[in-house]
């Protein structure tokens, strides 16, 4: 091509401009909106809708849109390389940032001293630009306070993750106090707490504002709580949780605890429970099922149980138990050390009914 | 320019059905004349409707004056008709609602659009004016591709976008140029404010 490498975009006729925006990558339109107030207004008219916006305040420090496509990455000024000497200045809401395109052509890197402040500024910008609440927020111990800014902008949050490398009962209490009943779909905690730590949760049972990515997801009308390896779930804490899905990689539960929990469930306790997955130091099947009427089932074909919208749990051997109202659940476990206990209440999250014929 | 000397667009005659073998003559705003096959004209909704409305016979096409296209120059119109001839007979694309819009730029189109951006602007303008959907798609796709991998500051330079300050200055200048009385009123208002008046009226 010859001639000037410039093009007077906004002098195009309306229809042509609309087509040009239609052909543009959503992230290109977003960066174009940052050029000026006028550009922002035009881009907001032609921008594409996004379903999910996720911000990761933790070490990943980025903001992603649908399908986890990164839009912005926020890096420390110390990460500026010698070849990055030509960083450009970009002003957003009266704050200047140094920016540079990433190797990936659709990602804009921001360099600053305060990652949380930068991400919060970008979060506010995107909330305003796309006019959708953020779907998922991931925090760590250093960025927890950013949650206040997020919850000041939106009433509810679909997914919220907290990971802390250091132990902190106070951090967890602070966090749970903030989220209270405002996390609608998935709450994930991966924080080491003291032995005597007690949960004080008031999570909502009826979900109103949850966004969905697929039709299947839209049928989900319950919460999930996930505890990472750092968090040791006690029977006391487990008994306080009434979510549909409960997942804890590490627990201090004994087989006797589980036995009591199951008997309570059979008698109508925690009727909202759909799926339960717990990590135990050791499992003894006889102790867990002591005094419980069950059928030991060996399935000809693998049974696929959808506890979440991600991967199904597959098993070919289970213990079938029934609640007093006739609800069936499959228990999947094996004797031994570092065991895993799963309770699968039917039908599963996708509506699949119990495969009794197998 | 006479019809004999007009820059005729290459036509693959074998591809044209016998009954459709009619060539219309068009004239650009700088008096350059083009002969374009009826099938190629169908790529342009505007021209297609125009020739349908005129109801020309083969004789009319030869004997009557060329159809004037007042808003487009010869250089641009040549590109437009070259594109139409190459894509004649192809279905007019319908927007499938995909986001972003999926538009592939074929090799021929890429070569045709290997032009300076001033001419590209005119080509898009012409495609829009003549309502040639696919030409508009590919040319706008080329413009959209210019944004790939660019920072906001780079986008400002590529797309010739003024800053907020420049926009403000242009707005003020436009207001002053259009309505000198408005400036007088504003100055009077400011003066009264300085004098401590509560209300202009």
Is B185 in the same domain as B108? no
Do the domain assignments include residue A116?
Answer: no
Do the domain assignments include residue B112?
Answer: yes
Do the domain assignments include residue A332?
Answer: yes
**Is residue A169's pLDDT more than 70?**
yes
Checking A253-257 for CB contacts under 8 A at 24+ apart, the result is A253/A278, A253/A280, A254/A280, A255/A280, A255/A282, A255/A283, A255/A284, A255/A287, A255/A288, A256/A287
pLDDT recorded at residue A3: 54
Helices B133-145 and B74-86 meet at what angle, rounded to 10? 110
pLDDT class of A222 with cuts at 50, 70, 90: very low
The answer to pTM > 0.95 is no
Please give, rounded to a whole number of angstroms, the shortest distance from the CA of A311 to a CA of chain B: 28
Is B106 in the same domain as B178? no
Residue B160 at interface with chain A, using a CB cutoff of 8 Å: yes
* Residue B39 structure tokens: 């099938």
Residue B19 at interface with chain A, using a CB cutoff of 8 Å: no
Is B26 in the same domain as B66? yes
**Is residue B9's pLDDT more than 70?**
no
pLDDT recorded at residue A212: 29
Least confident of A177-181, B8-12, B134-138: B8-12
Do the domain assignments include residue A268?
Answer: no
Nearest to A173 by CA among A205, A144, A150: A144
Q: What is the pLDDT of residues A117-154, one digit of tens each?
A: 999 999 999 999 999 999 999 999 889 889 998 998 89
Least confident of A243-247, A311-315, A346-350, A353-357: A353-357
Do the domain assignments include residue A287?
Answer: yes
Provide CB contacts within 8 A for B169, sequence distance 6+: none
Of B140, B147, B167, which is closest to A28 when you measure between CB atoms? B147
**Is residue B78's pLDDT more than 50?**
yes
CA B76 to chain centre: 9
The more confident residue out of A94 and B31 is B31
Residue A66 at interface with chain B, using a CB cutoff of 8 Å: no
**Is residue B105's pLDDT more than 90?**
yes
pLDDT recorded at residue B101: 82
Q: Which domain holds residue A44?
A: 9-48
**Of A110-114, A354-358, B97-101, B135-139, highest mean pLDDT:** B135-139
Report the residue of B93, B136, B140, B158 to disrupt the A interface, i.e. the one with the largest count of A CBs within 10 Å.
B140
Q: Which domain holds residue B24?
A: 9-152
**Is residue B76's pLDDT more than 70?**
yes
pLDDT class of B183 with cuts at 50, 70, 90: low
Domain CATH code at residue B131: 3.30.710.10
Mean pLDDT, to the nearest integer, of A160-183?
83
**Is residue B3's pLDDT more than 70?**
no
The more confident residue out of A213 and A174 is A174
**Is residue A217's pLDDT more than 80?**
no
The CA R_g of chain B, rounded to the nearest whole Å, is 25
Is B148 in the same domain as B177? no
pLDDT class of A324 with cuts at 50, 70, 90: very high
**Is residue A66's pLDDT more than 90?**
no
- Report the domain count for chain A: 2
The answer to whether residues A249 and A222 touch, using CB atoms and an 8 Å cutoff, is: no
Under 8 Å CB pairs connecting chains A and B tally to 143
Is B85 in the same domain as B137? yes
Is B40 in the same domain as B93? yes
Strand partners, A73: A62, A109
Q: What is the pLDDT of residues A2-12, one digit of tens each?
A: 456 899 999 99
Please indicate whether, in this complex, the C-beta atoms of B125 and A22 are within 8 angstroms of each other.
Answer: no
ipTM for the predicted complex comes to 0.80
Mean pLDDT, to the nearest integer, of B94-110?
87
What is each CA distance from A193 to A137, A190, A237, A281, B88, in whole angstroms?
21, 9, 12, 18, 72
């Amino acid at each position: 091509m010859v001639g000037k490498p410039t093009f007077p975009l906004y002098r195009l006729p309306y229809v042509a401009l609309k087509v040009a925006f239609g052909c543009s990558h959503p992230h290109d339109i977003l960066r174009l909106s940052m050029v000026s107030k006028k550009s922002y207004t035009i881009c907001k008219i032609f921008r594409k809708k996004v379903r999910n916006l996720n911000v990761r305040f933790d070490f990943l420090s980025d903001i992603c849109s649908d399908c986890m496509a990164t839009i912005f990455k926020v890096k420390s000024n110390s990460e500026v390389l010698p070849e990055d000497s030509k960083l450009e200045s970009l002003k957003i809401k009266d704050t200047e940032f140094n920016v540079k395109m990433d190797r990936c052509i659709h990602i804009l890197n921001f360099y600053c001293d305060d990652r949380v402040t930068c991400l919060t500024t970008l979060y506010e910008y995107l909330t305003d630009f796309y006019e959708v609440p953020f779907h998922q927020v991931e925090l760590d111990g250093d960025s927890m306070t950013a949650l206040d800014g997020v919850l000041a902008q939106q009433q509810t949050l679909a997914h919220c993750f907290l990971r802390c490398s250091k132990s902190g009962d106070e951090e967890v209490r602070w966090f749970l106090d903030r989220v209270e009943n405002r996390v609608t779909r998935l709450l994930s905690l991966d924080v080491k707490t003291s032995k005597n730590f007690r949960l004080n949760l008031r999570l909502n049972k009826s979900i109103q504002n949850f966004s969905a990515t697929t039709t299947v997801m839209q049928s989900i009308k319950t919460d999930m709580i996930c505890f990472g390896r750092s968090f040791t779930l006690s029977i006391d804490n487990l008994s306080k949780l009434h979510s549909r899905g409960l997942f804890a990689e590490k627990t201090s539960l004994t087989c006797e605890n589980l036995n009591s929990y199951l008997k309570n469930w059979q008698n109508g306790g925690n009727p909202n429970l759909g799926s339960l997955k717990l990590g135990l130091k050791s499992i003894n099947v006889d102790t867990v099922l002591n005094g419980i009427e069950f059928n030991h089932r060996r399935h000809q074909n693998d049974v696929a149980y959808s506890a979440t919208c991600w991967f199904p749990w597959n098993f070919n051997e289970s213990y079938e138990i029934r609640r007093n109202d006739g609800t069936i659940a499959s228990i999947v476990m094996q004797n031994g050390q570092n065991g895993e206990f799963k309770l699968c209440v039917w039908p599963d999250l996708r509506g699949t009914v119990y495969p009794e014929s197998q | 320019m006479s019809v004999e000397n007009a820059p005729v667009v290459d036509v693959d005659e074998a591809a044209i059905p016998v009954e459709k073998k009619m060539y219309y003559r068009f004239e650009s705003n700088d008096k350059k004349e083009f002969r374009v096959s009826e099938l190629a004209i169908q790529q342009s909704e505007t021209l297609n409707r125009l020739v349908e409305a005129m109801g020309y016979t083969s004789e009319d096409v030869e004997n009557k004056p060329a159809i004037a296209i007042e808003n487009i120059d010869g250089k641009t119109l040549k590109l437009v008709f070259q594109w139409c001839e190459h894509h004649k007979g192809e279905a007019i694309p319908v927007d499938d609602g995909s986001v972003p819009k999926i538009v592939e730029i074929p090799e021929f189109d890429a070569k045709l659009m290997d032009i300076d951006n001033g001419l590209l602007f005119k080509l898009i303008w012409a495609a829009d004016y003549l309502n040639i959907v696919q030409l508009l798609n590919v040319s706008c796709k080329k413009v959209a591709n210019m944004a790939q991998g660019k920072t906001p500051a780079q986008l400002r330079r590529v797309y010739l976008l003024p800053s907020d300050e420049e926009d403000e200055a242009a707005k003020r200048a436009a207001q002053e140029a259009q309505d000198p009385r408005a400036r007088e009123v504003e100055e009077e208002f400011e003066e009264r404010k300085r004098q401590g008046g509560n209300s202009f009226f």
